[in-house]
Structure formats: structure tokens, C-alpha cells
Structure 1
Amino acid sequence: MNARRLSFYLVPAAILILFFYFDPLHFAPSISDSAAPPRFTGSQSCIGCHAEFHQKWSTSMHGLSVRAYDSDFAKSFLPSEPWSVVLAGESSRVTIKPGDGVLEERKNDRTSDYAISFAVGGKNVLYFLTELDRGRIQTLPIAYDVRASSWFHTAGANLRHFGQGSGDAPLPWRDRAYTFNNSCYRCHVSQARTSYDPAIDVYSLTWSEPGINCETCHGPAADHIRAFSSRMDSGAHPDLHLISAKRFAPAQSNDLCSPCHAKMLPLTAAYTPGERFFDHFDLVTWEDPDFAADGRDLGENYTMTSWLTSPCRRAKTLTCMHCHTSSGRFRFVNEPDKACLPCHAERVRDAASHSRHAAGTKGAQCISCHMPKSEFARMSRSDHSMRPPTPGVTKKFGSPNACTQCHNEKSASWADSVVRKWHPNDFQRPVLEMSARLEEAKKGVWTRFEDMKRSIGKNGREEVYAASLLRAMRNWPDKQKVEAADIGLKDQSPLVRAAAAQALYGSTGPRVESLLQSAAGDSIRLVRVRAAESYASVAVNVRQQKASDRMIDALNEYVAFLMARPDDHASLYNLGNYYASTGDQKNAISAYERALTLRPEFVSARVNASFAYEAAGRNLEAEQQLRMALSADPWNVAANLNLGLLLAGRGEATDAETRLRAAYTGDTTLAVAAYNLAVLTARYDRNESVRWSMRAVALRPLEPKYVFARAFYLHEAGKEEEAIGVLRAALRDKTSSTDIYGLLGELLESRSSFAEARKVYLQGANDVTIPASERDMLASKAAR
């Protein structure tokens, strides 16, 4: 045997681990204002002609979403007594003094006072803002629960408790997540002008009015006022010179409200009412842990995601304005069943029969069963999916349901049995099946992939479900997902098409190339941006293949999206990923460093920065970044994996093995860790090496180098027959490489099966998936 021929090497010392860091933000409509400020005239200019509406608006939560804080406000809305709390993890006690308009912080024998500048909200909760240095407007750590008339710790109420371990802790109150300039302002003030200088970390934020004023939705009013002032003199009928929702199609009308009522990610810096939502925003769907298996709310999800699943919305005629006034009030607060008219008149007329609850009781109201309320962070919200209760999903997956929210002394099993007795047609079954598929996908279990694939294109499927399922495939390396993405990219929903493009992240091949190039020409910006993101995720796509003009345009849109928010660590992280994929390590390092300046504990950025440093030849800094990541999170899978690979590349086998074992312990789907552990353990235990190589193949059965490794180490362990069987099976399954052909041929030659070996070499020589030079080498072996 030719021992040199059978030698086996590690993969490069570090690999790029790209995590999709979706940082959903609250982002309001912002009229693009390139002309002089006087085009905006303020809400006061509307009173002359629209006094009644102005009065309704000015007392609504839209009009009062931000208010200046003063002694009169404190007397009207807050108790006069101070209230204190010790902030967990911050070693400080804070005391709010409403009458004095200050928050006092005591820490390490030092006392600091923060003046309360503004109050935000008021329907459920009042938050308070203070002005810090560098232009930052910060949310204070104490808020007021309006309904309960009690104070509470702001960050403490935002903790998630969804069985994700005990590591969830309140953020420090000065964290950028609570910086008003960073995200909140666009849904609470009007005609905001903001800037951020990353070189000195300084903000500037001004606005024309607190609250969401008339011109936020209707556009600048100066031309309207001028035209209608002239009309009073001439009697003419001028153009409105305003944006009017009455002229909108239902989808446009709903899109008008969505930016402030969605858990989403902005793609652009400005949205003009009338434009399409998905040209300016992406939407968080059920892949997020704030949603239960069936999409019910577990955390703060706002409205749009559940609204997209509503059968009423899917009829494409119902708009937000049917139930709500433009100032946000519920039109039918005293007679809520009227909200369901005229479409469901037969149900409303006989609500007792339909609901199985006594007429006139709360249980007989349509919204009690179809729009149950949930609470998180002291905020109450209604489920806008309008679906019937499905306690069977509660029983299996723990999802909330309306039955046991009212009958809280009863169990989900009780509610399930009652619902099944009342409705023998088993309307819960499709929801249970959908929930089961999505739960498996979120856990990386793909044994029912064919069923999942079919469900994406199934007639009547939920678009949010299909998008969530496709997004769950993003980090699944199996090539089968391309088939699901192909189905999704033909969908009518831009959300599904964008998710299908995301599913192709990290994928290669002619079919992937064709699908992404086509998606880059989609009419919706979100689809184009996600196609560009997936296209750029594999460096060879950008550096060695010629992108079409439409893909170049999409890549430019993607970069513009990432650069739109220079104060957002997630955007900078993804910008670094993009530069790294193009081979521009200098700019990649700069983007990662800026992300880490904003959020030093951002482990994923340190991991990817280490790759960029190594690619730039700065190996010491690469190792430093990984060790800093592990200092912050000792069991971080990506950091352990990459440090293990880096150390292996340097020949530090023992330490490398320790890190790779830690990575595999944290994620037993890591085929690359199993593969490299097979190489490392071969130093001292061939049977152990065989076991690791088998795990790698089990995880990635179509990866040729893993198949080759398994056969090679079986041979090394003296299991030649088994090795030959593995190689033959691989070739039958069209999993081939020069190494597989070469090793099988040499093993057959070693047992004097020269004719069989020659057939193997000839097969390899004719395998067009192998480079021509390697086919020539196999042909020469066959000719011996």
C-alpha cells in the first residue's frame, strides 16, 4: 500500500461560522423629507378645519405616545411617594421620586440623580426617559403599571422564561437596547431627525412633535393647507395634496399600520404610507422563541405576525380600520361582537349557540375565544390570528389557549375533551400537524422532510408557517432543502419567497445559483435582499463566479440595508460577514470591531472576527478573539469549534481535541467536529477514530470527505471488508471524490482484485463531477 496516498489532513484551521442574528426593532413610518422643513406644519395647523378629529387624536394613545414630564403630569398620573428597587446584577439601588421628577441611583456609596425628561406610553405602562451624555436618551429602570397602579423594574419585566435555561438575566438599564435613539423613537415622535457619529459614539435627535401626529400618516400638510385656503376664496375643488388611506387598497391600508405594530427588522431608513411593507421591512415569524408552536404569543410580538394568519385578513378585504379608528381606538368597545359584522352575522345573531356560553356573558363574546388577550412585560395584547381555541396544542406543546385562560382551574386535557365533543370534525388536527412539523424543524429534526416540503406548497397553508419552516432550514446543511426552497420561491407571498431565499444560505451548486439569481430580480426588496444575503454567504459565489447585473444590484441593496443603522451591532456583524465573504478582510475586521465596541459581549462577532484575523494572517489576534469569546461564554459551540480547529492546524492536538469535544457536547449535529475528532483520536485509538468518523457520516452522509474518512479509519483499524463496503455504497449513492475512487481501487488491488480496481478507476475517470486533472490521474491508474 502507498501510505502517503492514504494520508489524511485536517480541514483549514478555522472555519467561518455565520449565525443569522435577527435583531427585531420597532420602527415607525417616516415621511422622506428632502425639501425644507416648513412642508410639515404640525398638528395645530389641522384644528381649524378638523377640530373634532384633532380632539379625538390628541387624547388617543397615538397623540400621547410621548409626553413631556413635569410636576402637573406627575400629579395627574403617578403616586407621590418614592419607590425603590435593587437592580439585579448592577449592585445599585434606584429610587424614583415622581414629585421631584428625578431617579436617584446609589452605587458603591455614590449617588447620582437623573432628571425625568419624558414619559412614554400610558395605556398599559408608562416608561420614563432621561437624557445622558453623548446625546443618548435612555429609558429609566423603573416604569409604572397603569392598570395595577404600581411601579416595577423595567428590565426585570422583560425576561423570557421559555425553558431556555437559567441564564436569562435583566439587562443593565444603560444597555443600548433601552436607548430611545436606537429604535423606539420612530413609533413615538413625529418628523424625527436623527444622526449618529460612530467615530465618537454621539447621537443627535430632534422631532417636530411628540406623539404620532397627522402628518406621519398623511404626509406634509403645507400644500394641502395652501390649496384649501385658496378654495375658501375661489370655491374650487383642488387636489387633496395629502396621502389618504381612503384611496388605498386593503393591503396598502394594512401596510400603513404595520411598521409600528410589527416585530420586524427595517430594511430602509424611511417608509412612506402607501408603499409596500416588505419593500421596507422583514418580519419575525414563528421561528422566534417568543412564539409558541402554533404561533400563539409568548412574548412581545406586537400584531402583524398573528394578523397575517387571520382568515379575515386572508380574505383580502378586511383592514385595520374596520375595527380601529385611525387614532388607534377600538370602534366597538361597548359592543365588541359588532366588529364581526357583516361577515359573520349568523354567528353574531346566535352567539350562545355557537360559543356554548350563555348569551350576554363574556364567554359568549366573539373576541373571548377568537382574540384572547395575553400579557408580557405588563403589556396586554389581543391575539389577532382570530383562530378558534386549540387546547390540543396546549396539551402537546404548551401553547396558550382561550379556554384555560378563562377556566384557569381546569386543565388543557379537560378543554381538549370538551372541544372535541363539541366539534367532532377535529378542526384541531391540521394545527397539531403544523405545530409538530415546525417544532421538529426548530430542533433540527428532519426525518419528516418530505412531509414538511409538501406542506410548504400545500393549498391553504399558512404563509407564516411556510416562512417559519423555511427559515428553520437556513442552518441545515443538507442539499435536500434546495427542493423546499424551489417551492417557496414560487410562492405568491413575498414573506415566503424571502424565507426560501434565506433557506439557501450557505448552499452551493448550479441549481442554487439559478434560484438565487432569479430571486435577485424579484419585485419585492425583501426577497432581493435575502437572495443577496444567501448569495454572499458562500465566498466562492462572490469572488469566483460572475454575478448577474440583477445580483449586483441586489448585493448593493443588501449592503445599503446593513449600513442604514451604524449604531446597531447586529447590522455591523452581518456587514462584517458580507465583507469576509468577498475576501475583504480589512473591512470585515473593521465592521466586527465596531460591533464589538457597541456590544463587547457579542460572542458571535468575536468568533467571526477570529476568522477574518486569521484570513488576514493575524493568527495571534484570531486566537485572542476566540479566547475572549470563551471567557464570556465557556461553552459557546462556535468558539470552541473554531479554537479547536485553529489549534489543530498548529499541531496542538491535545488542546484541540478538548475544544472540539466541548463543541460537540454543545451541539451533537456538528459533523465537522466529529470529523476532526476522528483525525485527532487516530493518534492513539483507531477504534475511537472509527466511531467519530461514523458520527460524521451519519450527520452528513453525502459529504465525500467524511465518507472517505470513515473508510480510511476502518481500513486502519483492520476492517478492510467494511471499508470496501462503505466506499462501494457511497459510489452507488452518487457520493464520489478522487479520494473515494482512489482508496477503493487501492484496497481492491491490495487483495489482488485488479480487474475490479480497474473498473473503479475507469468509473472515476468518467466522473464529470471530478476535476479533469484528477480524472486523468485515475485514467492513468486504470491503464497500468
Structure 2
Amino acid sequence: MRQKNNNKQDPTVSPPHWRLILPALLILAAAGIWWLTRAEPNTSTLDTSVATRSQPSAPTPAAEVSPSPVSTLSTGPEYVGRQTCASCHAEQSEQFNGSHHDQAMQEANAQTVLGDFADQTFNFGGVTSRFFQREEQFWVNTANAEGEYSDYRVDYTFGVYPLQQYLLAMPGGRYQAFSVAWDARPAEEGGQRWFQLNPDVNGDDPVKALHWTGRQFNWNLMCAECHSTNLERNFDSVSNSYNTGWSEIDVSCEACHGPASNHLQWATHPDSHPEMADTLGLTVRFDERQGVNWLPNASGHPERTVPRTSEKEIQACAACHSRRAQLFDDRQDAGLLVENYLLSTLDQGLYHPDGQIQDEVFVHGSFLQSKMYQAGVTCSDCHNPHSLELRLPGDGVCLQCHQANQYQTPKHHFHSTAAGSACVDCHMPATTYMEVDPRRDHSLRVPRPDLSVTLAPPNACNQCHTDQSAEWAAEHVQQWYGHTPQGLQQYAEVFAHARAGASGAEQGLLELLANESQPAIARATAASMLQSWPGPEVAQSLFVALRAEDPQIRLGALQAVSSYPPITRWQLVSHLLEAPERVVRLQAAAQLLDIPPEQMRGDDIKRLRDAQDAYLAAQQANADDTSAQLNIGVFYQTRGQLALAEDAYQRAIELDPYFIAAYVNLADLYRASFRDPDAERLLKTGLQQLPEAAPLHFSLGLLNVRNKQMDQALSALRQAVMLDPDTSRYRYVLAVGLNSTGQRAEALAELEEGLQRNPHSQTLLTLRQQLQSGQP
């Protein structure tokens, strides 16, 4: 897939992220899924002194619309609004005013709109967009995916700095985040201009899946949850429309602390509510830093005076500041990550093999890799949680704990000038997303230019010294220290070899999984990657990992068990159906979907049926999410309820005609039902929408092989390899097909090219050896 790193992560501005696909038991594992994420919010505040919800109504592009109140859910504590909070917490409210959370999303008006709407035009990809005003409203004239021009009203601003996006009103209660954004930086920094957020996938690019009118830029599904407080999507599947609403338009007090009505009761009459003494009536009380100081220990290293015993604060922040999948659509106060979302591991395409950020991953997954996290640091040690500013500017935030005479000196950083010697320059290198927004890697790692030489991830040294090579940087580091500093993160080679499918790579993964000194997210990644090496030794390690205290490691191990037969899976994961975290319970159920409850005995029948029913209910609650429809289809297909499965896959395609996984699974359902002509028609329809989708070409090639249409099969397989030359499986199947038609030399040539890209691929090495030895 041709995708630019154009997501963003900070409370400043957020574009649409791509929503993550819940890992389901995909029927055709050979076909890849495009992993898409979700975005986060930015806002200005509404007067919410009363506990009502606001919602954008369902406009046509040119219709007049204003937020209308909807009654709040009455179950549990209620939302009271920031103005109520500010009556007692004036200092925190003042810090919040004007913050990026405060400006995450705002009604579009002369005060909030930063872009130039004075009849300005912007040309890109053959499309001319015009920005203008009409009757004090802001409008954009631009083309839809079919090239037809219309006027679209700007109802809301999204974010504030370093860029601002605009939400355009569409039919069905939908709002789309326009992909031409305003560069809010000063002119001398290249700002104060219109620019295209994703220039490599819009305009005349055939990947219309990422056109601004598509689902990936849909505010309701992709962005809204993290940009407003107490958001409800309110999707109606019958009318295929939204009635999305919120308590407050921005990321306000109760987005983090939860609904505050019980807190008000406690504050008014604390003696009357002894049951609230510990929580103060708050859904989440952030008391982890009370009495905490950082003091040097006997070795001179900073140490927390009170151990961190919970992760309430980190989890609450991570609910939006992470690359994750939302699994549940019910209201979860303060959105704790472990209860509601599935965190991405250090997957290829998201992170470099050493764990550095590659695609936009929204901080949390990086921070979990850091020595700071292991030492007990929390978000608010560095950031003011209300203003979002650093607690001290520049190196000052680090020198809160680290002694200046030890670290702010050339003896530590080996630079004679201030340029390049700031703590963040070496330990938090930045990657620019959304064209203008540099985001810093929060894994706080030791620079490793030596790994750039051997494995090609980036390094902090060459980010400044762009005119020098990684070898040059590695030599200097070696000269400075007399050795190569390793740092905490010890898994670059393990992941690089495993990603390449190298022989023996599973041993490195097993060792990493067992290494308790390494970050849990890395160990969870190792567990998930063991899916490719099923066997008794791996199963033993997974048995232990599935009983780990850290839910991340259990979730990683759950991804790996899908390679085992049903009875083994039941033995490995059935105990997690009663796990304390509902995300773990749901993922355990996902691994047991193909086990009929009637085949179980006694209490296990009810346990399994209840788990499977809960899994299906969670998917149905997210009916507007194509990945949920995919999971529903898998659910029914595993039960042989093919009509229901077909309907779910078709719904997924109707929701998003560019959703590759739905085409692949539905085509496989047709194939399994001896409906090969339907499968071929479907795949060709998908290729009309997505001509560069390698998985669809690959699936069509496999179908043609099944039907003994080898010329068409080889053509489709070649196309898959051309579009995705790094996927060894595509090249492997093409080589097998070439050899089966008497083209052994061509097959060997394909294998050689594949091994140049993936020199450790055991499947390619084994096939090459077989063909070279003359085996059929």
C-alpha cells in the first residue's frame, strides 16, 4: 500500500487516523490486511454548564445546521461540564484555556478559523479547491471522488497548530476532515499557506480509498472519539446515518477524570459520603504522583521516592495517545486503555525493527519501551496535564531528575556547542508526519548508528549530520566510549530476522519473550510473531506467556495461538475467558470462535457460548466499522452460516468499497461454496476500485490456479509481486507456479530477487535449494 506517514499524535491537531482492524480469524491468511488507525481530537470550549449533549445534525453539503441538544444517558454518574468544574478548580481551568485540548475541535467562526478563506485557491492533482466566505460562513468548493465540484460548508475547525483541518458537512450526519489543511506555522517557517496532507495518495492517484470523501477521513468514525468529551457516535445501520453527539465539544475535564456528578456530591457533603473517601467521587482519581519526588540514589541516578503502583494516569492518556483499536462502543469513563482498546505491538510498518517510530504511533507504544517508563515515570512528570506544556522548557524538563553537571556537559554529549546537544536531539529524535508536524520518539533510547549500518533503521546522529554516513557516526560513537553503548532496547536483530522469516528466528523470539528485563511491549511483540513458528517448544512458552501478569504479554500470546488446532487453543486460552480485563476476554473468545459449544462438556458449554455471544455483541455494537463487519462475517463463516457471513462481508464492502480484507474473505467464502465465478467477479470488482492492491491480485491468482488457468494465474501473481515485492509469500507462490509450468529458470530468478530483499527468508531459501537440486 502506498501510504504516507500523515497521521498525527498530539493534542494539538489530529487528522483522521486509520482505525485499527481487530485481529480476527481471517479465512485467507495469505492475503494481507491494510492496518489503518484512528485520530485524536482538538478543541475549543462550549458553554456546558448544564449536563446536556450537543450534536451536529445530519446536513446536506449546503444545508444550514447547528448543534442541537440531546438528553444525556442517565445511567451512572453524569457529566456536569467544565464551567462547573472551574467554579472550584480555577487554576486548572485557567491552565486549560487555550491549550491544544481546549482547541481540539471548535465551531467554525472568525475567531477560530486560522486559514485564509478570502477567495483563495489551491491546486493539486488536477483539482482546484477554492476557499471563500458566504454570509459569515466558511466554505470550500472542491471535487468529490468522481471529480464533481460542489460547495461544502465548514462547520468545525479541527486542531490549531502546527496545522488546522476543517470538517465539511455531508449527508447522513457525516463530517469529513478535508485533506487540504492550513499550515498554521509562521510564514518565516514556511507556514501561512494551504497544503495537501497526503500528497502521495490524493489527486489523480488510483488509491481513491484515501480521498477526503472516503471513510478514512470520516470524523464520526475515525476522529471524533478523541477530540470531544463523552462522545457517542449513534450510528443507525438501517439508514446508514449518524446522530453523533457529545457533552463538550473539546477534550475537557471529564474526558480524563470521568463524569463529575458524584464528585460534586462528595465535595458538597463529604461526611455524608464515606464510601467516596478514597475516590473523592471521581471515576478516576489521579493520585499516583502524590508525595512523589525524584531523588538521586547511591549511584547518583534519579529514583522515585514512592513506587508507581498503578497506571491510571498513563492508561487514561494512552486511550488517545496510542495506536490502538477501539473494541467497545459503550461509555467507558476516562477511557482506560486496558479496558477498552487493543494496543498495537511493535509491528512492521509501524515501528522500525529496533522499536523506533516509523508510522505515526501516538507516543504510548514508544514510551512503554523506555527506561523512564520502567523507572516509574508518568506523563505528568514531564507534561502539565492541564496546559499540556512541558513542566520546564528545553533541557530543564530532563534536569528535574538528571543532574546537570553529569549530563549537560560535553563529557556526556560530546558536542562543543549547543547545536545538537539538547537532550531530545539525541534521545528523542523527531519524525515529521502530516507534512509539517515533527513528532518526537518517546522511547528515549541511546543513539545506535551501528544498527543503521547493519539493519538500516534511522539514528539520531545522522538526523543532524545528514551529510555523513551511518558508518561515520558509528565510528565516532565507538571512539567516544571505547565500545558501542547498547541501551535498554535489545531486540532489533531479533525482530529484523523474524520479519524476514529467517531460519532459527523463533529462538530469538523465545528468548526475548522470556527476558523480563526487556519492555513488556517488546516481549508481547515477540509472542505475537511466534504465530509463524507453531510447535511444542513455542506452545510451552505461550502457555507461560498466557498466564503473565502483564495483560500486554497475554494479548500478544493470544495472537500467536491461532496456528494451533482447536483443542490446543482451548487448552491454552480458555482460562482467559474469565480474565479481569475485558479486552483480554474478548481476544480469548476471538481465538475460540470455530469451536462449537455443543462439542464441550458441562460448564464449558456455557462459558464458551457466553464468550462467543459477547464477542458477537461487541462487533454488532460497532456496526459502522468495516472491521467489525469483517469479524461478524468470520464469526458466522466459522459456524457454516454462510448467508449471514456473506451479508456481513457485503455490508463491509458497502460501508467501504476499498476494504481489501472484506473482498478477500468474501471471495474465499464463494470459493469454499463452489461459487468460483462469483469469487472471480468479486475480485475483479475490487481491482477496479483498487488496481494497486497486491492482496487482491494474489487472491485472484490463487483462484486461477485452482481453476487450472495458469496463464491468468501467473499474470495475477506477477502483478502481486510487482506491487508488493517484499512479501515473500507472494514471490514463493509465483515461483512454485512458474516451476509447475516448466519455467524453472524463471522461478529461480524470482527466488534470487526475493532473497536479495529478504536474505533470511527460510521459505525462499528452502524452495531455491529444492529447485537447484532438481526436485519437482
Q: TM-score, normalised by structure 2?
A: 0.75
- What is residue 578 of structure 1 aligned with on the other side? 635
- Matched residue type, 2:400: L
- Counterpart of 2:377 (choices 318, 325, 329) is 318
* Contact 2:597/2:606, CA 8 A, preserved across alignment: no
- What is residue 400 of structure 2 aligned with on the other side? 341
- What is residue 260 of structure 1 aligned with on the other side? 320
Q: Deviations over 1:714-744 (max 9, x none)?
A: 9xxxx9xx99xxxxxxxxxxxxxxxxxxxxx
Displacement after TM superposition at 1:280 (Å):
1.3
Specify the SS of the correspondent of 2:386: coil
Farther-moved stretch of structure 1 (261-270 vs 651-660)? 651-660
- What is residue 738 of structure 1 aligned with on the other side? none
* Contact 1:42/1:215, CA 8 A, preserved across alignment: yes
- Counterpart of 2:455 (choices 397, 401, 416) is 397
Displacement after TM superposition at 1:123 (Å):
2.8
Change (3 A) 1:84 1:256: same
1:24 correspondence with 2:37: yes
Gaps of at least 5 residues in structure 2 are 1-26, 43-52, 54-70, 289-308, 755-760
Change (3 A) 1:186 1:652: closer
Q: Deviations over 1:113-138 (max 9, x none)?
A: 22211111113211111211111111
* Contact 2:701/2:715, CA 8 A, preserved across alignment: yes
- What is residue 567 of structure 1 aligned with on the other side? 624
Q: Deviations over 1:174-208 (max 9, x none)?
A: 11111111121121112223311222221111223
- Counterpart of 1:463 (choices 505, 520, 532) is 520
Residue identity (%): 23
Farther-moved stretch of structure 1 (588-597 vs 513-522)? 513-522
Q: Deviations over 1:121-170 (max 9, x none)?
A: 1132111112111111111232112224333444425869xxxxx98788
1:92 correspondence with 2:127: yes
Matches for 1:237-276 after TM superposition, within 5 Å = 240-243=280-283, 245-248=285-288, 249-270=309-330, 272-273=332-333, 276=336
Paired with 1:261 and 1:689, the residues of 2 have a C-alpha distance of 46
* Contact 1:96/1:104, CA 8 A, preserved across alignment: yes
Change (3 A) 1:379 1:576: same
1:131 correspondence with 2:169: yes
Paired with 2:747 and 2:470, the residues of 1 have a C-alpha distance of 48
Paired with 2:147 and 2:580, the residues of 1 have a C-alpha distance of 60
Change (3 A) 1:417 1:92: same
Paired with 1:64 and 1:41, the residues of 2 have a C-alpha distance of 20
Paired with 2:321 and 2:620, the residues of 1 have a C-alpha distance of 24
Q: Deviations over 1:482-540 (max 9, x none)?
A: 4553453344432222111111224226544421324444333333333332333xx46
Displacement after TM superposition at 1:332 (Å):
3.0
* Contact 1:40/1:215, CA 8 A, preserved across alignment: yes
* Contact 1:337/1:367, CA 8 A, preserved across alignment: no
- What is residue 353 of structure 1 aligned with on the other side? 411
- What is residue 104 of structure 1 aligned with on the other side? 141
Higher relative contact order (CA 8 A, sep 6+): 2
Q: Deviations over 1:627-662 (max 9, x none)?
A: 323445568665456555655666667656766777
Paired with 1:111 and 1:664, the residues of 2 have a C-alpha distance of 37
- Counterpart of 1:414 (choices 450, 458, 472) is 472
Displacement after TM superposition at 1:385 (Å):
0.9
* Contact 2:566/2:592, CA 8 A, preserved across alignment: no
* Contact 2:116/2:131, CA 8 A, preserved across alignment: no
- Counterpart of 1:609 (choices 666, 672, 676) is 666
- What is residue 388 of structure 1 aligned with on the other side? 446
* Contact 1:69/1:118, CA 8 A, preserved across alignment: yes
- What is residue 493 of structure 2 aligned with on the other side? 436
Change (3 A) 1:215 1:512: closer
Matches for 1:153-232 after TM superposition, within 5 Å = 153-156=195-198, 171-229=210-268
Paired with 1:231 and 1:456, the residues of 2 have a C-alpha distance of 48
Paired with 2:111 and 2:334, the residues of 1 have a C-alpha distance of 39
Paired with 1:689 and 1:330, the residues of 2 have a C-alpha distance of 58
* Contact 2:40/2:227, CA 8 A, preserved across alignment: no
Q: TM-score, normalised by structure 1?
A: 0.74
- Counterpart of 1:150 (choices 175, 192, 199) is 192
- Matched residue type, 2:251: I
Paired with 1:612 and 1:645, the residues of 2 have a C-alpha distance of 14
- What is residue 64 of structure 1 aligned with on the other side? 103
Change (3 A) 1:621 1:64: same
Paired with 1:443 and 1:257, the residues of 2 have a C-alpha distance of 34
* Contact 1:669/1:699, CA 8 A, preserved across alignment: no
Matches for 1:699-714 after TM superposition, within 5 Å = none
* Contact 2:566/2:595, CA 8 A, preserved across alignment: no
- What is residue 82 of structure 2 aligned with on the other side? 43
Matches for 1:620-631 after TM superposition, within 5 Å = 620-631=677-688
Matches for 1:595-606 after TM superposition, within 5 Å = 595-606=652-663
Change (3 A) 1:480 1:600: farther
Paired with 2:667 and 2:430, the residues of 1 have a C-alpha distance of 46
* Contact 1:224/1:242, CA 8 A, preserved across alignment: yes
From the CA coordinates, give the structure whose radius of gyration is larger: 1
CA RMSD of aligned residues (A): 4.4
Paired with 1:550 and 1:496, the residues of 2 have a C-alpha distance of 23
- Counterpart of 2:424 (choices 354, 367, 378) is 367
Q: Which has the higher helix share?
A: 1
Change (3 A) 1:205 1:404: same
Matches for 1:482-497 after TM superposition, within 5 Å = 482-483=539-540, 485-497=542-554
Change (3 A) 1:653 1:62: closer
Displacement after TM superposition at 1:27 (Å):
6.5
Q: Deviations over 1:683-735 (max 9, x none)?
A: x999999999xx9xx9789x9xx9xxx9xxx9xxxx9xx99xxxxxxxxxxxx
- Matched residue type, 1:149: G
Change (3 A) 1:656 1:254: closer
Paired with 1:469 and 1:200, the residues of 2 have a C-alpha distance of 43
- Matched residue type, 1:95: R
Change (3 A) 1:601 1:331: closer
Specify the SS of the correspondent of 1:206: coil
